[in-house]
Amino acid sequence: MIKGIHHITAIAGDAKRNFDFYTKVLGLRFVKRTVNFDDPQTYHFYFGDRQGTPGTILTFFPWGNAVRQGRRGASMATEIGYAVPKGSLGFWLERFRAHNIIYNNPAEKFGEKYLTFLDPDGLKLELIETNQPDPRKGYETGEVKEDVATKGFYNATLTLNDIKPTAGILTDVFGYALIDKQLNRYRYATTASETANIIDLVELPAEQRGIVAGGTVHHVAFRVKDDKAQMEMREKILAKGLNITPQIDRNYFHSLYFREPGGVLFEIATDNPGFMVDEPLEALGTHLKLPTQFEPHREAIEKHLVKLD
Ligand code: ZN
């Protein structure tokens, strides 16, 4: 019933720097320019593929230059993995060098070559040359062509002191299964989706709890087909004795939030209605979009937000 990752949301500092990195250096499409619905003085950015397909969406709350730096640690998603075409890592290495991006030399895990790098806020990401060809079409920009472009998420890694409680949610509630293990990294996947369907659990018993602030992941959202599947998932989570929010309307999807027993904030998000609900495909991300309750305050909100382009 869970169809892999829907989106991942992280915290950034400077909005313009975040926007420039993801659209220009990484070559993602700016899918939606809106505000944090719980704090309309700050942006909420969505980056993804051309249509903003679930499983490709990385979102940010850019809190501004005064943002406190977060720290990767336990009870947190600590790595975000993008699938890239075989043979593309050379292009990315050269590009990261040219843009002064911090990266590690390519390495290999589970038989796949990957390149780790940090975004300008220190958020840890990976590009993975997947063994299974990924059928998704990468978004093409002037500098990042389709043969090297990211295709969307491959996996997300959660760091935990003890993986068991989290693994229980993945297997008993979400329908994932353990498919591989390398040292203290346990790889779970679901067959309900062909892409963005992997979660790695890394067990570090002595690791300090992470601090969610600049350069860290705020939550991982999992994907369900529609509201009905979402409500069924809500019942299953309640039956595990966990707290979960009622359904919240996020304009582009409907959301539930709960903290899984390992401490990571999870969201369950619907495919419907999607990013074309308030602007056409060609115009995605070009205008500031506000939910109806904030529309009367547009002028004041726009005055607060930094210009991007
Ligand atoms: Zn979310």
pLDDT in 10s for each residue of the chain, 309 residues: 899 999 999 999 999 999 999 999 999 999 999 999 999 999 999 999 999 999 999 999 999 999 999 999 999 999 999 999 999 999 999 999 999 999 999 999 999 999 999 999 999 999 999 999 999 999 999 999 999 999 999 999 999 999 999 999 999 999 999 999 999 999 999 999 999 999 999 999 999 999 999 999 999 999 999 999 999 999 999 999 999 999 999 999 999 999 999 999 999 999 999 999 999 999 999 999 999 999 999 999 999 999 998
Q: Which DSSP letter does residue 171 get?
A: I
Residues 6+ apart with CB under 8 A from 247: 227, 230, 231, 234, 254, 255, 256
Sequence ranges of the domains in the chain: 5-304
* SS3 at position 239: helix
CA of 194 to the centre of ligand 1 (A): 21
Residues 6+ apart with CB under 8 A from 304: 41
CA of 232 to the centre of ligand 1 (A): 19
CA of 60 to the centre of ligand 1 (A): 9
CA of 105 to the centre of ligand 1 (A): 31
Is 1 exposed, middle or buried (CB count within 10 Å of its CB: 0-12, 13-18, 19+)? Answer: middle
CA of 221 to the centre of ligand 1 (A): 6
- What is the full DSSP assignment across 289-304? E--GGGGGGHHHHHHH
CA of 298 to the centre of ligand 1 (A): 23
Q: Do the strands 29-36 and 288-289 form a parallel or antiparallel pair, or are they unpaired? A: parallel
CA of 150 to the centre of ligand 1 (A): 21
CA of 111 to the centre of ligand 1 (A): 31
CA of 70 to the centre of ligand 1 (A): 18
CA of 37 to the centre of ligand 1 (A): 11
Report the pLDDT value the prediction gives residue 181, as an integer from 0 to 100. Answer: 98
CA of 89 to the centre of ligand 1 (A): 29
CA of 8 to the centre of ligand 1 (A): 6
Report the pLDDT value the prediction gives residue 309, as an integer from 0 to 100. Answer: 81
Q: Which fold has domain 5-304?
A: 2,3-Dihydroxybiphenyl 1,2-Dioxygenase; domain 1 (3.10.180)
CA of 162 to the centre of ligand 1 (A): 25
The pTM of this model reads 0.98
Q: Distance (Å, rounded) from C-alpha 216 to C-alpha 300?
A: 29
